[in-house]
């Protein structure tokens, strides 16, 4: 598989596209007003402790307070010295606890506390944080104040995990935990020790700042989005890392020569005349990403709908599904193709939370098992944590996927000001029915009145259809005289009514 990282740097936006065989599988966007927070470390002040939900709100100097749950409060766990799977982003390590202690035993209002952001603000919610501080390096993750150590289970060889574990035992500093990342596979003692020395230096600088600076304040900002790609993703599997910015190229090349010298030559400066995302056909794929319906081969499709509670993805077979035995075989082919595309779309759109996949129901149990296995395999390249439940009797697969930030579509778009994000507006006939109810209230008195109706051209056109038949019917029934004016600036499902003689605005007076 040919894997490329393509970087487009603009004045007010940087974009990173990860391509697999030319197909866009991940898109990351960073803007000055939307700088990544995950990984940042703050000296915060505890604003409120809520024992009812075993959580606290921490002031970190931003508009929204950070949320800290008891499960994210660091405490030494004597059972934590086991092989632990790290998060490639250097996030916190989940550990089993025997009981749920009272958060008031650890946190008090107005106390200072060091916290690290684990989840970006989403919607009305502030960021989520942890006191389990972790500093990710190229090969290791240092956790000041912890005592356990481990090795990523993404290193498949048990023998290699044991080798890395032995090195970690020898170099692990006192008073800190240490995790070997998947990139530590095959690396020597000296290479891992050099990475650790860098992390220890960073940790010392953070501690010194925390001792002298008042809360709330930022102590450590994780490296920029582009540099983090080299740290977290740039391995021998990557064929090319290409940028269109000379200044960013120089920075990344310099960092790569220190962190991954053998791969530094794969970092390339783009010198083409056309925009880099056009040259690699990324721009067109981003446009398609915004669509609700994604077409598959032979007329099949998947439809993605977002709701507050969950994300629903429906698989449609199209018309050409065959008959008899070929019918079941065709359904299987459609479902397998949809499984691969759904796994790609989850990564590409960065969809998280509860996700329900409604595949086409199949009668053969063996085919259901094959679909389950195919989807699980397609999800293996996903960097987010996820949990897939078995396919049920209705042909549905439900999964949860880690949600660290807003989805890409939420970040690059706003809800439609007309429909409010619903995706639908009232039809012209429905708007006219609402107008009639308005006239019903306005004509309750005995005095005949003249009105000027201002509406969208589609509604005005419906009023004037068939020689103005609808207007005649409304005038005769409600004893009014109606003039109308088409206004393309008004929302399609709204209207405005004025007194035709005085120009007085009457709309709100007779709305329900």
As a whole number of angstroms, the distance between CA 399 and CA 394 comes to 15
Per-residue pLDDT reduced to its tens digit, 218-245? 999 988 788 888 888 887 788 899 999 9
Per-residue pLDDT reduced to its tens digit, 431-488? 999 999 999 888 876 577 899 999 999 999 999 999 899 999 999 999 899 999 999 9
CATH code for residues 3-33+226-283 = 3.30.420.60
Per-residue pLDDT reduced to its tens digit, 156-178? 888 999 999 999 999 998 888 99
The mean pLDDT value for 340-360 works out to 93
Q: Report percent pLDDT > 90 for the chain.
A: 54
As a whole number of angstroms, the distance between CA 31 and CA 8 comes to 12
Q: What is the dihedral of CA 16, 18, 24, 29, to 10 degrees?
A: -20
Q: Report percent pLDDT > 70 for the chain.
A: 93
Please give the CATH topology (third level) of the domain spanning 428-510: Hypothetical Protein Ychn; Chain: A, (3.40.1260)
Does the pTM exceed 0.85? no
Contact call for residues 246 and 269 (beta carbons, < 8 A)? yes
pLDDT number for residue 86:
39
- Tell me which of 223 and 140 has the higher pLDDT: 140
The mean pLDDT value for 73-85 works out to 45
Place of tokens 């005289």: 481
The mean pLDDT value for 271-294 works out to 91
The mean pLDDT of the chain is 87
User: 3-class DSSP state for residue 388?
Assistant: strand
Q: What is the DSSP string of 201-253?
A: HHHHHHHHHHHHSPSSEEEE-PPPHHHHHHHHT-STT--EEEES-HHHHHHHH
The mean pLDDT value for 136-140 works out to 91
As a whole number of angstroms, the distance between CA 6 and CA 16 comes to 6
Contact call for residues 223 and 231 (beta carbons, < 8 A)? yes
**CATH C-level class of 292-412:** alpha beta
Question: Does 96 score more than 50 pLDDT?
Answer: no
Give the tokens for residue 258: 């220190």
Which residues contact residue 469 at a Cβ distance below 8 angstroms, ignoring those fewer than 6 apart?
none
User: How many angstroms from the chain centroid is the CA of residue 350?
Assistant: 4
Contact call for residues 465 and 484 (beta carbons, < 8 A)? no
Alpha-carbon distances, residue 241 vs 195, 267, 297, 438, 472 (angstroms): 22, 5, 31, 62, 68
Which residues contact residue 481 at a Cβ distance below 8 angstroms, ignoring those fewer than 6 apart?
448, 449, 450, 451, 475, 500
Q: Is the peptide bond before 491 cis (omega within 30 degrees of 0)?
A: no
- Tell me which of 367 and 408 has the higher pLDDT: 367
Ordered by start, the domain boundaries in the chain are 3-33+226-283, 41-220, 292-412, 428-510
Give the tokens for residue 413: 């778009």
User: 3-class DSSP state for residue 407?
Assistant: coil
Which residues contact residue 344 at a Cβ distance below 8 angstroms, ignoring those fewer than 6 apart?
23, 25, 378
CA-closest candidate to residue 57, choices 68, 73, 41, 43 = 68
Per-residue pLDDT reduced to its tens digit, 284-326? 998 888 888 999 887 889 999 988 788 999 999 876 565 556 8
CA-closest candidate to residue 425, choices 471, 472, 476, 493 = 493
Which residues contact residue 346 at a Cβ distance below 8 angstroms, ignoring those fewer than 6 apart?
355, 379, 382, 401
As a whole number of angstroms, the distance between CA 365 and CA 372 comes to 11
Question: Does 117 score more than 90 pLDDT?
Answer: yes
Backbone region of residue 353 per phi and psi (left: phi > 0; alpha: psi in -120 to 50; beta: other values): left
As a whole number of angstroms, the distance between CA 436 and CA 446 comes to 17
φ, ψ of residue 491 to 5 degrees: the values are: -60, 145
Place of tokens 């007194």: 499
For 145-258, strand residue ranges (E) read 149-151, 176-180, 217-220, 240-243
CATH of the domain spanning 41-220, picked from 3.30.420.40, 3.60.10.10, 3.40.50.300, 2.40.50.140:
2.40.50.140
CA-closest candidate to residue 381, choices 342, 343, 438 = 343
For residue 327, what is the enclosing H or E element? helix 325-349
Question: Does 77 score more than 70 pLDDT?
Answer: no
Question: Does 84 score more than 50 pLDDT?
Answer: no
As a whole number of angstroms, the distance between CA 409 and CA 422 comes to 15
Contact call for residues 404 and 352 (beta carbons, < 8 A)? yes
Q: How confident is the model at residue 97 (pLDDT cuts 50, 70, 90)?
A: very low
Which 8-state DSSP code applies to residue 244? S
For residue 509, what is the enclosing H or E element? none
pLDDT number for residue 354:
94
CA-closest candidate to residue 139, choices 247, 273, 232 = 232
CA-closest candidate to residue 258, choices 338, 211, 198, 215 = 198
As a whole number of angstroms, the distance between CA 462 and CA 247 comes to 58
Give the least confident one: 93-102, 136-145, 488-497.
Answer: 93-102
User: How many angstroms from the chain centroid is the CA of residue 478?
Assistant: 53
As a whole number of angstroms, the distance between CA 216 and CA 220 comes to 13
Equal CATH topology for 41-220 and 292-412: no
Give the tokens for residue 291: 């669509």
Q: Give the burial string for 300-332 (b: 16+ CB within 10 Å, else e).
A: bbbebebeeeebbbbbbbeeebeeeeeeeebbb
Q: What is the dihedral of CA 319, 322, 326, 331, to 10 degrees?
A: 10
């Amino acid at each position: 598989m040919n894997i490329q990282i393509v970087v487009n740097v603009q004045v007010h936006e940087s974009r990173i596209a990860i391509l697999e065989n030319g197909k866009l599988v991940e898109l990351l966007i960073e803007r000055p007003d939307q700088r990544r927070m995950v990984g940042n470390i703050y000296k915060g002040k505890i604003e409120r402790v809520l024992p009812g939900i075993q959580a606290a709100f921490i002031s970190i100097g931003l508009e929204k307070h950070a949320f800290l749950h008891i499960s994210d409060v660091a405490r030494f766990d004597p059972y934590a010295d086991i092989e632990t799977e790290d998060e490639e982003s250097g996030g916190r390590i989940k550990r089993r606890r025997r009981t749920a202690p009272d958060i008031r035993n650890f946190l008090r209002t107005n106390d200072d506390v060091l916290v690290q952001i684990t989840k970006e603000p989403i919607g009305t919610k502030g960021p989520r944080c942890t006191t389990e501080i972790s500093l990710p390096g190229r090969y290791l993750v240092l956790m000041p104040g912890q005592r356990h150590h481990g090795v990523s289970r993404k290193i498949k060889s048990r023998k290699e995990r044991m080798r890395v574990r032995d090195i970690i035992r020898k170099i692990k500093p006192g008073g800190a935990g240490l995790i070997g990342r998947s990139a530590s596979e095959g690396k020597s003692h000296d290479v891992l020790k050099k990475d650790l020395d860098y992390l220890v230096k960073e940790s010392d600088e953070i501690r010194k700042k925390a001792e002298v600076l008042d809360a709330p304040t930022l102590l450590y900002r994780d490296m920029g989005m582009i540099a983090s790609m080299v740290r977290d993703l740039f391995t021998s599997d990557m064929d090319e890392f290409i940028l269109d910015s000379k200044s960013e190229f120089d920075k990344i090349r310099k960092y790569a020569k220190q962190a991954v010298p053998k791969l530094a030559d794969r970092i390339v400066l783009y010198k083409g005349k056309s925009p880099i995302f056009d040259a690699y056909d990324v721009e067109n794929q981003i446009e398609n990403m915004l669509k609700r319906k994604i077409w598959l081969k032979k007329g099949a499709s998947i439809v993605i709908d977002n709701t507050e509670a969950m994300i629903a993805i429906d698989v449609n077979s199209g018309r050409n599904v065959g008959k008899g035995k070929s019918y079941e075989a065709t359904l299987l082919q459609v479902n397998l193709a949809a499984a691969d595309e759904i796994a790609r779309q989850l990564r590409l759109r960065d969809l998280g939370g509860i996700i329900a996949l409604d595949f086409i129901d199949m009668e053969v149990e063996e085919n259901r098992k094959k679909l389950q296995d195919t989807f699980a395999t397609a999800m293996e390249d996903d960097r987010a944590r996820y949990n897939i439940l078995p396919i049920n009797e209705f042909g549905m697969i439900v999964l949860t996927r880690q949600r660290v930030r807003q989805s890409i579509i939420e970040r690059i778009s706003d809800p439609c000001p007309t429909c409010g994000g619903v995706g639908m507006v009232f039809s012209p006939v429905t708007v006219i029915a609402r107008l009639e109810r308005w006239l019903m209230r306005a004509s309750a008195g005995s005095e005949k009145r003249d009105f000027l109706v201002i509406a969208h051209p589609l509604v005005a056109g419906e009023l004037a259809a068939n020689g103005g038949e609808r207007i005649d019917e409304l005038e005769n029934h409600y004893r009014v005289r109606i003039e109308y004016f088409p206004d393309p600036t008004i929302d399609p499902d709204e209207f405005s009514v004025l007194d035709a003689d005085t120009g007085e605005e009457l709309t709100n007076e007779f709305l329900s």
